[in-house]
């Protein structure tokens, strides 16, 4: 069982012993892990699912890690932190990796503790320069006090609707899929779609219905997003 809001990490490695050693260690720390064993599978998963970080080997069948990294950077709708994991340890190799879009580079052999620390650091780096207040259009959220305001009126939210709103505010302007919301709220404690639907309904009931225009948009086949009005 993982903790809600735990990291979701894609491990791209064609050697099963290495990938499972990484996964076993990460799961002990509450992470949710997925696997890809070749470049094509890695691209498909990275572009189709939500990940906090990708651990990417360079020597892969069906598109190497450099090609995978380049494809993700060219096609992803958000910046996904990528750590290159490889036996190539020259300065030239590292520069090529960074030029292809890698955020970090760790050479084999490596310590699992260091890889885990780097994944955590990369996944949290974008938060360092964030202000405590998130705002989209008429809606604002103070993350320290958890106070929500719309059009100057204080809004009281239950914990899970508050989590949903926080995720949508942080993701704006992109849409957030139902599976991403479930991953961030419940981790790998699977829940049925009715539970999420109920919490979104409760959020809309408080945040939208008392006002003239709704701010929460349903994008059919995609997920949910906020309208800045």
pLDDT single digits (tens) 155-176: 999 999 999 999 999 888 888 9
**Unique residue bearing structure tokens 């899970």:** 160
What mean pLDDT do residues 139-159 have? 90
What mean pLDDT do residues 181-198 have? 82
| H helix or E strand, kind and range, residue 113 | helix 112-125
Q: Are 97 and 66 in contact (CB under 8 A)?
A: yes
Q: Are 70 and 89 in contact (CB under 8 A)?
A: no
CB atoms within 10 A of CB 169: 18
- Give the pLDDT band of residue 154 (cuts 50, 70, 90): very high
User: 30's torsion region: left (phi>0), alpha (psi -120 to 50) or beta?
Assistant: left
Least confident of 36-45, 61-70, 91-100, 190-199: 190-199
- Exposure of 165 in the CB half-sphere (CA atoms within 13 A): 31
Query: What is the percent of the chain where pLDDT is above 90?
Result: 57
Report in angstroms the alpha-carbon separations of 58 from 46, 120, 131.
15, 21, 36
- Give the pLDDT band of residue 146 (cuts 50, 70, 90): confident
pLDDT single digits (tens) 27-67: 999 898 999 999 999 999 999 888 889 999 999 998 899 99
pLDDT single digits (tens) 102-143: 999 999 899 999 999 999 998 877 555 455 788 899 999 987
Counting other chains too, the contacts that 158-165 makes at CB distance below 8 Å and 24 or more residues apart are 158/199, 158/202, 160/185, 160/199, 161/199, 161/200, 161/202, 161/203, 161/206, 164/199, 164/200, 164/203, 164/224, 165/139, 165/141, 165/203, 165/207
Name the residue with higher pLDDT: 7 or 229.
7
> Which SS3 state, helix, strand or coil, does residue 209 take?
coil
Judged against a pLDDT cut of 70, whether residue 3 lies above it is answered with no
Average pLDDT of every residue of the chain: 88
**Unique residue bearing structure tokens 């879009």:** 101
Torsion, CA 74, CA 65, CA 187, CA 154, rounded to 10: -30
Query: What is the percent of the chain where pLDDT is above 70?
Result: 93
Name the residue with higher pLDDT: 78 or 155.
155
Name the residue with higher pLDDT: 19 or 124.
19
Q: How far apart are CA 55 and CA 79, in angstroms?
A: 14
DSSP track, 156-190: ---HHHHHHHHHHHHHTTS-B-HHHHHHHHHTTS-
Least confident of 4-13, 19-28, 80-89, 202-211: 4-13
Q: Are 32 and 183 in contact (CB under 8 A)?
A: yes
> Which SS3 state, helix, strand or coil, does residue 191 take?
coil
């Amino acid at each position: 069982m993982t903790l809600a809001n735990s990291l979701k990490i894609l491990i791209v490695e064609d050697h099963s012993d290495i990938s499972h050693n990484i996964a076993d260690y990460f799961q002990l720390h509450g992470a949710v892990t997925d696997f890809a064993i070749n470049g094509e599978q890695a691209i498909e998963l990275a572009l189709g699912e939500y990940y906090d970080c990708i651990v990417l080997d360079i020597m892969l069948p069906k598109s190497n890690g450099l090609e995978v990294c380049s494809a993700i950077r060219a096609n992803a709708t958000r910046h996904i932190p990528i750590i290159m994991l490889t036996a190539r340890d020259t300065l030239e190799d590292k520069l090529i990796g960074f030029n292809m879009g890698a955020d970090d580079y760790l050479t084999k052999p490596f310590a699992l503790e260091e890889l885990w620390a780097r994944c955590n650091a990369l996944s949290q780096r974008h938060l360092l320069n964030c202000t405590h207040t998130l705002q989209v259009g008429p809606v604002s959220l103070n993350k320290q006090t958890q106070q929500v305001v719309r059009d100057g009126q204080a809004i009281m939210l239950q914990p899970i609707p508050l989590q949903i709103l926080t995720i949508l505010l942080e993701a704006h302007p992109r849409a957030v899929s139902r599976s991403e919301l479930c991953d961030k709220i419940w981790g790998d404690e699977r829940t049925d779609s009715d539970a999420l639907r109920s919490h979104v309904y409760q959020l809309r009931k408080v945040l939208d219905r008392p006002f003239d225009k709704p701010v929460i948009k349903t994008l059919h086949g995609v997920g949910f997003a906020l309208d800045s009005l």
